[in-house]
Amino acid sequence: MKKTMGVRLAIALLLLGGAACVLVGKSVIHGPGFSLSYPYIDALFPKADAAFRHSTTVYVWLLLAGGVAGAALVWLKSAWSSLAVFAVSLSSLVYHVIRSAQNGYSPFQIDGLWEGLMLALPLVAAVLCVVLFRARRAGE
């Protein structure tokens, strides 16, 4: 039980960390001789003249809502709730990869710290969900 408690806590913190990246992180665009930065929180409710694409708005909403929902779901005692959290964890990452490929971008081009964290934290949480599922199925 102690092993699963630590894994559940780690998953919850990773998912909440991913959600926090939306609230405090910035998108940085580098060009020849210039650099622009936009806070991701502005993509949650974009204005008509916003610099964010619609796909970015959906991505940050998935990351924010999925992080909060996954952090709550991980505390359910069922082994199958681990798989639900796994799906929630990967939802933003899968959406990002698909939309990046559709837009002609490299899905794993990481332009800054925040973008890297927004991809890595849910991915690590998903891996820990598999560990949690296996531990719960083994009866620990």
SS3 call for 37: strand
87 membership: H or E segment, kind and range = helix 79-102
Which has the higher per-residue pLDDT, 77 or 9?
9
Query: What's the pLDDT band for 65 if we cut at 50, 70, 90?
Result: very high
| Domain count across the chain | 1
User: Which among 72, 84, 70, 63 has a CA at the least distance from the CA of 19?
Assistant: 63
Question: Model-level pTM?
Answer: 0.88
- Checking if the pLDDT of 27 tops 90, the result is no
Average pLDDT, the chain: 88
pLDDT digits (tens, 9 = 90+) for 114-138: 888 999 999 999 999 999 999 988 8
Q: Which two tokens stand for residue 61?
A: 């909403």
Query: What's the pLDDT band for 50 if we cut at 50, 70, 90?
Result: low
Q: 32 lies in which domain range?
A: 2-138
